Amino acid sequence: MQSSVSNAGMYSIQYNRKRCIGCGLCASLAPERWIMNEKDGKAILQRARGKDHIFRARVLDIRRPREADECPAHAISASPA
Protein backbone atom coordinates (compact mmCIF):
# COMPACT_ATOMS: atom_id res chain seq x y z
CA MET A 1 0.00 0.00 0.00
CA GLN A 2 1.38 3.39 -1.02
CA SER A 3 1.03 6.46 1.10
CA SER A 4 -0.89 9.39 -0.36
CA VAL A 5 2.26 11.53 -0.22
CA SER A 6 3.98 9.25 -2.75
CA ASN A 7 1.13 10.00 -5.19
CA ALA A 8 1.51 13.73 -4.66
CA GLY A 9 2.75 16.05 -7.36
CA MET A 10 4.17 19.51 -7.72
CA TYR A 11 1.80 22.19 -8.98
CA SER A 12 2.41 25.74 -10.01
CA ILE A 13 -0.29 28.09 -8.70
CA GLN A 14 -0.80 31.44 -10.38
CA TYR A 15 -2.90 34.07 -8.61
CA ASN A 16 -4.22 37.28 -10.16
CA ARG A 17 -4.85 39.57 -7.19
CA LYS A 18 -6.76 42.13 -9.30
CA ARG A 19 -9.45 39.53 -10.00
CA CYS A 20 -9.84 38.52 -6.34
CA ILE A 21 -13.25 39.40 -4.88
CA GLY A 22 -12.28 38.55 -1.29
CA CYS A 23 -14.79 35.75 -0.74
CA GLY A 24 -12.29 33.69 1.30
CA LEU A 25 -13.04 30.35 -0.38
CA CYS A 26 -9.36 29.73 -1.14
CA ALA A 27 -8.39 30.30 2.50
CA SER A 28 -11.10 27.92 3.70
CA LEU A 29 -10.11 25.21 1.19
CA ALA A 30 -6.33 25.49 1.72
CA PRO A 31 -5.49 27.47 4.87
CA GLU A 32 -1.90 26.22 4.64
CA ARG A 33 -1.51 28.27 1.42
CA TRP A 34 -3.86 31.24 1.73
CA ILE A 35 -4.62 33.97 4.25
CA MET A 36 -6.95 36.93 3.94
CA ASN A 37 -5.56 40.46 4.06
CA GLU A 38 -7.30 42.42 6.83
CA LYS A 39 -6.78 45.78 5.07
CA ASP A 40 -8.41 45.11 1.69
CA GLY A 41 -10.06 41.73 2.28
CA LYS A 42 -8.25 40.04 -0.61
CA ALA A 43 -6.38 36.76 -0.46
CA ILE A 44 -2.63 36.39 -0.04
CA LEU A 45 -0.88 33.35 -1.50
CA GLN A 46 1.74 32.48 1.08
CA ARG A 47 5.34 31.82 0.01
CA ALA A 48 4.61 33.29 -3.42
CA ARG A 49 6.69 35.49 -5.64
CA GLY A 50 5.15 38.08 -7.84
CA LYS A 51 5.21 41.29 -9.75
CA ASP A 52 2.41 43.84 -9.83
CA HIS A 53 -0.76 41.79 -9.27
CA ILE A 54 0.37 38.32 -10.48
CA PHE A 55 1.80 35.91 -7.88
CA ARG A 56 3.17 32.39 -8.35
CA ALA A 57 4.02 29.57 -5.96
CA ARG A 58 4.98 25.93 -6.34
CA VAL A 59 3.14 23.56 -4.04
CA LEU A 60 3.14 19.84 -3.29
CA ASP A 61 -0.37 18.40 -3.24
CA ILE A 62 -2.06 15.03 -3.62
CA ARG A 63 -4.25 16.37 -6.43
CA ARG A 64 -4.77 19.58 -8.38
CA PRO A 65 -5.37 22.35 -5.82
CA ARG A 66 -9.16 22.70 -5.38
CA GLU A 67 -9.03 26.46 -5.04
CA ALA A 68 -8.00 26.69 -8.72
CA ASP A 69 -11.22 24.95 -9.77
CA GLU A 70 -13.54 26.61 -7.28
CA CYS A 71 -12.47 30.28 -7.21
CA PRO A 72 -15.62 32.16 -8.31
CA ALA A 73 -13.57 35.05 -9.72
CA HIS A 74 -11.23 32.76 -11.69
CA ALA A 75 -8.30 34.50 -10.01
CA ILE A 76 -6.44 31.23 -9.34
CA SER A 77 -5.06 28.68 -11.78
CA ALA A 78 -2.92 25.59 -11.25
CA SER A 79 -0.89 23.40 -13.56
CA PRO A 80 1.60 20.57 -13.05
CA ALA A 81 5.03 22.04 -12.29
pTM for this prediction: 0.88
Look at residue 52 and tell me if it is in a domain.
Answer: yes
Provide the strand spans (E) within the chain.
Answer: 9-16, 34-36, 43-45, 49-51, 54-61, 76-80
Query: How far is C-alpha 32 from the chain's CA centre?
Result: 10
Q: How many domains does the chain contain in total? A: 1
Look at residue 1 and tell me if it is in a domain.
Answer: no
| CATH number, position 40 | 3.30.70.20
Residues 5-47: tens digit of each pLDDT: 456 799 999 999 999 999 999 999 999 999 999 999 999 999 9
- 8 Å CB contact between 69 and 75: no
Look at residue 70 and tell me if it is in a domain.
Answer: yes
**Which residues form the domain of 16?**
7-80
Look at residue 69 and tell me if it is in a domain.
Answer: yes
Look at residue 2 and tell me if it is in a domain.
Answer: no
Residue 38: per-residue pLDDT: 97
Look at residue 43 and tell me if it is in a domain.
Answer: yes
